[in-house]
Structure 1
Amino acid sequence: MSSVYATPQFSAGTLRALASDWQLSGIVRVLTGSYLSVTTGIDNALTGQPNQRPNQVLADPYAADKNIDHWLNPAAFRAPAAGAYGNLASGNILGPGSIRIDMGLTRTFRVRENQTLQFRAEAFNLPNHVNPANPITTLNTLNFGKIQSAADPRIMQLALKYVF
């Protein structure tokens, strides 16, 4: 969802100089997580292709208290027997979602008839909300089910543009 708000033109001298011609814009994105595939990390089926899918042995593949250290429950998966494929379908594990709010504040000042100076202040991920990345989905690693990274924290930038 995006929005843009422009302040009105005020008539009073000081108020007009300080509050007129500002533009506030925002973008809000709320996303569900990506669908992921858990893999064994080895060639259980003996086909020469690594990273085959495991067996899902518990109905709920997620940890009881999902957090960055325990997103997936390792006990919910088992490597299949040698020469066999696992029963877990591809892309049936949902990773963490994300919320991102970006805002911008702009004002254009007229310098001369055909010249303007534009000031911009922008903030990306304004509330500095932690948006975790996907968990490790390779079953034979020590970090299986853990989230080890996240999207960018708050980033702010200022810009000044002279148009002639």
Structure 2
Amino acid sequence: TGSFYTQPTNFKLGTVRQYNLNVEQALPGNLVLTMGYAGSRGNHILVAGNDLNTSSPSACGTVPGYTLGCLPGGQPYIPPYNTFDTILLFGDVGDTSYDSLQIKAETKTAKHGLYALIAYSWSHTLDNGLSDGLGSLLSAPYFPLPNWRRLDWALSQINLYHSFTASTIYDLPFGRGKRWGSDWNNVTNALLGGYQVTLIERISSGFPDPLIDSNNQSGSFFQNGGNGNNYNRPNRIGGCDVYAANHGQHQYINSSCFEAPPVGQLGNSDRVPVTGPGFVNTDFSIIKQFPLPREMGLNFRAEFFNLFNHAQFGMPVNDISAAGFGAVNSTVNNPRLVQFALKLTF
């Protein structure tokens, strides 16, 4: 007769505890090395979409040739509150865990016109389910265990195991007041002096990816009232490498490692059995300063985003029932972008 939204009368406010410890050491050559640990724990996090009107795991006549206790028309077992469609609980049952190792090396000052930074982090993030599409609220409507969230405690869909960043800013040593060209005339200095280059390199591993069986070929699921999320997880075949050999755009996941579970059973695959493609990006810019009289200045810059035009592949098709399961059909970054700017200061 309709959908309702509710929350516990003894609702507890979410809490997040954060802590970190860093050790910093000066090194020869104008360098500073920082190593540290950062972590957090979250409890009673708001969870949206936990449906209270779900039946126990049920097997329906959705599998050709089978009739496993279903009601006429292939309808699932009657939910606990059969006069309602969906009863969504905004609960305080979400939990999160984050641990990371962080290493950074950088120059203390821009010695000889050069500043550089290199940073690396390893992180491990766990939770009991993010919504499909990496939403802002903890929720797991995409998975068939809405009332058994403990079983969804797993690697978070926003986890990045590895992240590396390197950046540098370098004032080229040419022109008046620099190492070479201090005696250049105005024309030569205007053409060859006053240049600065910057480079930013970012490399990271991919995001974890959940797998589903939308056709629900086993006929088993946790019925989610009227919201239609009757998905099942696939079975994962042991001893099989989930990544396709030389995996790339055409076939990223080894589809032979997953299959529909037997009739009447939920799939045994964990929540996020694969990790999507990693990320690589290079940005570069060159800046030219033109000194002008009366404390005026002219600044020209050319900026190159995604310098090498590297394609960043999106997530592979994650539905074992879909055509092209395991293939990557999209990119998530922009192609090379070049822009120019001219700025006058006075």
User: TM-score, normalised on structure 2?
Assistant: 0.44
- Distance, in Å, in 2 between the alignment partners of 1:124 and 1:146 is 27
After the TM superposition, which of the residue ranges 38-47 and 67-76 deviates more from structure 2? 38-47
- Residue 76 (structure 1) shift: 1.1
CA contact (8 A) 2:215 2:231 kept: yes
The equivalent residue for 1:97 is: 278
Task: Name the structure 2 match of 1:67.
Answer: 248
> Which residue of 90, 107, 111 maps to 2:288?
107
Report if aligned partners of 2:190, 2:290 keep a CA contact under 8 Å in 1: no
- Is the 2:221–2:231 Cα contact (8 Å) retained in structure 1? no
Which residue is equivalent to 2:320?
A: 139
Worse overlay, 114-123 or 75-84 = 75-84
RMSD: 1.8
- The structural deviation recorded for 1:93 is 0.3
Paired letter, 1:4 = I
The answer to whether 1:46 aligns with 2:221 is yes
Residue 26 of structure 1 is matched in structure 2 by: 199
1:50 Cα deviation after fit: 3.0
* Correspondence for 2:266: 85
Q: Distance in 1 between matches of 2:315 and 2:301?
A: 33
Aligned residues: percent identity? 30
Give the secondary-structure state (helix, strand or coil) at the position aligned to 2:256.
helix
Q: Which has the higher contact order (CA 8 A, sep 6+)?
A: 1
Alpha-carbon displacement from aligned partner over 1:114-135 (angstroms, at most 9, x marks no partner): 3222111000111122222221
The worse-fitting range, judged by mean Cα deviation, of 151-160 and 15-24 is: 15-24
Which position in structure 1 is the counterpart of 2:334?
Answer: 152
Q: C-alpha deviations, 1:92-148, integer Å up to 9, x for none?
A: 301111211100111222333232221110001111222222211111111211111
Query: Which shifted more, 28-37 or 105-114?
Result: 105-114
1:35–1:46 Cα change, 3 Å: closer
Q: What SS does structure 2 have at the residue aligned with 1:139? A: coil
- Give the secondary structure class of the aligned counterpart of 1:18: helix
Q: CA deviation at 1:65?
A: 3.2
Q: Secondary structure at the match of 2:189?
A: helix
2:237 to 11, 32, 57: 57
CA distance in 2, matches of 1:103, 1:47: 51
DSSP 3-state at the match of 1:105: strand
Q: CA deviation at 1:72?
A: 0.9
Q: 1:52 to 1:46 in 2, by over 3 A?
A: closer
Q: Give the secondary structure class of the aligned counterpart of 1:71.
A: coil
Q: Is the CA contact 1:46–1:82 (under 8 Å) kept in the aligned structure 2?
A: no
Q: Which amino acid aligns with 1:33?
A: G
How far off its partner does 1:57 sit?
A: 1.4
Compute the TM-score of the two structures, normalised by the length of structure 1.
Answer: 0.89
Structure with bigger gyration radius: 2
Matched residue, 1:125: 306
